[in-house]
Amino acid sequence: MAKENYIEKKIIETIEQNYMPYAMSVIVSRAIPEIDGFKPSHRKLLFTMYKMGLLTGNRTKSANVVGQTMKINPHGDMAIYETMVRMTKGNGALLHPFIDSKGNFGKQHSRDMKFAAPRYTEVKLDKICEELFRDLDKNTVDFVDNYDGTLKEPVLLPTTFPNILVNLNQGIAVGMASNICSFNLREVCEATIRFIQNENTDIMKFLKAPDFPSGGQLIYNQKDMAEIYETGRGSFKLRAKYRYDKKNSCVEIYEIPYTTTVEAIIDSIAALVKNGSIKEINDVRDETDLNGLRITIDIKKNADPDVLMNKLYKLTPLEDTFSCNFNVLIKGKPRVLGIRSILQEWISFRTECIKRSTLFDIEKKSEKLHLLLGLRKILLDIDKAIRIIRNTEQDDLVVPNLMKGFDIDRQQAEFIAEIKLRNLNREYILNRVAEVESLQKEISELKDVYNDHKKIKKIIIKQLNDVAKKYGQDRRTGIVSEEHIEEVPEETFIDDYNLKLFLTEQNYLKKIPLVSLRSVSEQKIKDDDRIIQEIETHNKADLLLFSNKHAVYKLKIYELNDSKASSFGDFLPNLLELDQDERIIYMVATDDYSGHMIFIFENGKAAKVELNIYSTKTNRKKLINAYSDISPLVYLSYITEDVDLVVYSSINKVLVFNTSQISPKVTKNTQGVQVLKQKKGSHLAMVQKLEESSINDADYYRTKNIPAVGYYLREEDKAKNQLGLGI
């Protein structure tokens, strides 16, 4: 086999040579908008329509526009048509659409509603495009060759308002992206005017917040919005608007966040109903028609529509986030700018446009003035001019002879020579020459404008006022202060039901709904295991799990999976990540952390600790030093009211006392107070509740004061099976 030829190249060099040009092309020539608010694909399409006379003419088939645009846009016909679709009134993706459309262009708020083919739809430029192309023919912007060098196209459009902020623009390049939200045209014009007048003005006073064509509500946080205005980065939340139809018991959603679609919302709600997370809804459907968007949710008679909508805001795209990234191409370089910087760049761009158009007018009027000044010279002797022309034998000598005869240049002589014979009369020439003074005055004024920055500012301000007056609209997106938004706790979305918890000696925990227990008589546990505690509670309660290592673990009961009687349940060492020799010995379920914990130790001391000590503001899962470690724990119990307890010493001494005799403490690991006095090296061995013991005459063992030694256990009070806690 022949040996293959190959060239070794460093990968970094290969990437730089092959990938970098592509990346730069995507950034500079495709995905990132420029200061006029357009990407190249938008600009090429609109310019083509302008050249086709669609600013004033009738609509034409979209296919015709797409075909013409391909002369300056190297992309395929469908890519061009999709660009057109987003700029039409019919699609509704922009606050101020640039294209007046007829036919089906789909809808921005619908994922499934597709636009018709270009042969069926018709378009023309909307009236606002006059502001995009104003003075385009006066050299306001640079023109460059198209991709094959056969046509010229503008580098930018000389927009008379900051379109970059008025119409939403999104793009993904290589290694960077742009996501510019839209703002209300009136507010943008007002803010720009104020900024021109005073660069230190507070823009947020005039440019209140973003505005979207889909309406809805914007949840306003002043700090977050100020950061977006300052840096060009940040995010805010949008939410849908709804109304409640009490007669038909349904909620009608009529405006949704710009970032989502009707289908996504309906799918999300349907999924919640299907998995049982939302039980107040009977049906959800899309009732969008010619009158506008509408999602109808049929709800149950006893359901609160406001509470339901708060749930849906939390769980569905009815509330969504818009992330801002104001990345703009400035003179070919991508820059992330805040609002103030964008306005500065736009004003600088617009100033240059006005200067260039003014210079164009000066040059045109100066040319005309120059010709009229030559015409004025022949006014002194019209007969001489006629005689020169008549006596010149060769045609190409007419202009030179006029130049010599009246001391004028070639341009002036050419102009005089082209005048029709019938116009070589005194009246015509006087009328034309009368324009000289007005032209001189106009040129002088134009030069003043060109050289006076303040006058240029006044022109920009006047144009902005005119645009706001002609095309301004009321805000579509409402502004709601974050303070007025009801914060919905997570528990609102949790299904609440009664249940039983079972704790086994080998540290298995079962959570079983009461409805499942009705048909089951036995709980499945391991052969060498036993249930040491069972409590009845509900799904939204908190659970405290006390371990033999003086710690307490906190859980929300709804975080536990439902178990069946036929299963072992959750293995707590894995669930709680317990130490190797650590195990759970007691559990407490509570709603409000009322009541007390009773701890009784081998040294005869007892502690009464308020349960609310274990309630923490932070969601800590583990609390150490949950009870004292000075002496081994013999007994612990949760009480809501004081109870009688029976304590047994290792030498069969017995004491009965009431927990009211122990003062409650607010320290978790308190050593407590002495209850049973030690005697002859004895220790506290066991504790029982009085009603669970075999004591017949409790008063015999009861003392008025504690601590006490207690009394020897009488024969009639001895039980065959007195069991301790075995800690």
Cα(555)–Cα(543) distance, integer angstroms:
5
Cα(469)–Cα(346) distance, integer angstroms:
20
Q: Is the CB of residue 254 less than 8 Å from the CB of residue 291? A: no
Nearest Cα neighbor of 316 from 257, 240, 265, 378 is 265
Can you read off the two tokens belonging to residue 466? 């005119």
Q: Is the CB of residue 105 less than 8 Å from the CB of residue 116? A: yes
Active site annotation includes 428: no
Q: Using DSSP, state whether 722 is helix, strand or coil.
A: coil
**Catalytic residue among 19, 120, 147, 712, which?**
120
Q: Is the CB of residue 407 less than 8 Å from the CB of residue 379? A: no
Can you read off the two tokens belonging to residue 421? 């014979």
The DSSP bridge partners found for residue 499 are 513, 537
Q: Provide the total of helices (H) and of strands (E) in the chain, helices listed first.
A: 20, 34
Omega before 707 within 30 of 0, i.e. cis = yes
Task: Give one word for 707, left, alpha or beta, with left for phi > 0 and alpha for psi -120 to 50.
Answer: beta
> What values do phi and psi take at 26, rounded to 5?
-65, -40
Helix 339-379 and helix 382-391: axis angle, to 10°?
80
Cα(123)–Cα(411) distance, integer angstroms:
45
Cα(687)–Cα(301) distance, integer angstroms:
54
Nearest Cα neighbor of 212 from 96, 297, 361, 128 is 96
Cα(673)–Cα(667) distance, integer angstroms:
13
Residue numbers annotated as active site: 120
